[in-house]
Amino acid sequence: MLTAITRGVSPAINQCELSHLERQEINFARAVEQHHRYEACLREMGVSVVPLAPEPDLPDSMFVEDPVVVVDEVAVLTRMGAESRRTESESLGRAIADYRPLRWLREPATLEGGDVLRIGKTLYVGLSARTNQAGIDQLAEELGPFGYDVRPVAVHGCLHLKSAACALGGRAILANRAWIDMSPFEGLSIVDVPAGEPRAANVLSIGDTVVVAAAFPETAGLLEQMDWKVRVLDISELMKAEAGLTCSSVLFET
């Protein structure tokens, strides 16, 4: 069964970290409602959702993708590039420990799960403002014994690798080529985001369905024309915190 760990929206979300967006007031009640709809969408697609309580003192803690990388054999707790977020790993680690043995990255490594795009046994990892080479090297050391190939990808125009490229299923990805080095993706099928929707690459692919943010209708239409099953979800308040669709859940098979 596909399981998703989520966490409620922190009431401190308006103090979230921002790197590429100007700060706007986030309507907390609307953000909570949108997050509940996100969880409902996962359940409607057959995912077992395990919700964790909000962390009032950790503004970004809803974004559970970043503190951990989960593969079939283990879960690797990351050391996040945003120092203010590093304590998020503690409670998330306790939840993940019910499903996977834990490993931990160590100083001087920094790595955030939003920089990790997995396709089969290959993990493409963004070399970004939040993830350094030491983090990529330590992740490779932890996962190499299980047969995983970890490949660095230079990120130069966005927060995380998955801000610019996400899996669509099979060996296809949706990508904004302007924000990352595309050479590590040679051999994959690339679908380009529409020019007018540069932030649209962060989609959530589950089974034969791709969830697309409602802010990106051209991208939703493009994928539908290519015969993908598409669900559209409004995450407009969450996007003010630099959210995408992948960052609010940790998905793995149980």
Q: CA 167, CA 147: separation in Å to the nearest integer?
A: 20
Q: CA 21, CA 118: separation in Å to the nearest integer?
A: 26
Instruction: Spot the catalytic one: 35, 41, 160, 166.
Output: 160
Q: Is 20 a catalytic residue?
A: no
Q: Is 41 a catalytic residue?
A: no
β-strand 122-127 against 116-119: which pairing, if any? antiparallel
Q: Taking Cα atoms as reference points, which of 251, 248, 237, 239 lies closest to residue 33?
A: 237
Q: Taking Cα atoms as reference points, which of 199, 189, 132, 188 lies closest to residue 163?
A: 199
Structure tokens of 212? 């697309």
Name the β-bridge partners of 5: 50, 250
Q: Taking Cα atoms as reference points, which of 204, 50, 32 lies closest to residue 114?
A: 204
Count of other CB atoms within 10 angstroms of residue 107:
7
Q: Taking Cα atoms as reference points, which of 133, 167, 173 lies closest to residue 153?
A: 133
Say which residue the tokens 């993990």 belong to.
Answer: 123
Q: Is the peptide bond before 108 cis (omega within 30 degrees of 0)?
A: yes
The helix (run of H) or strand (run of E) holding residue 66 is none
Q: CA 77, CA 7: separation in Å to the nearest integer?
A: 16
Q: Which positions are annotated as active-site residues?
A: 160, 247
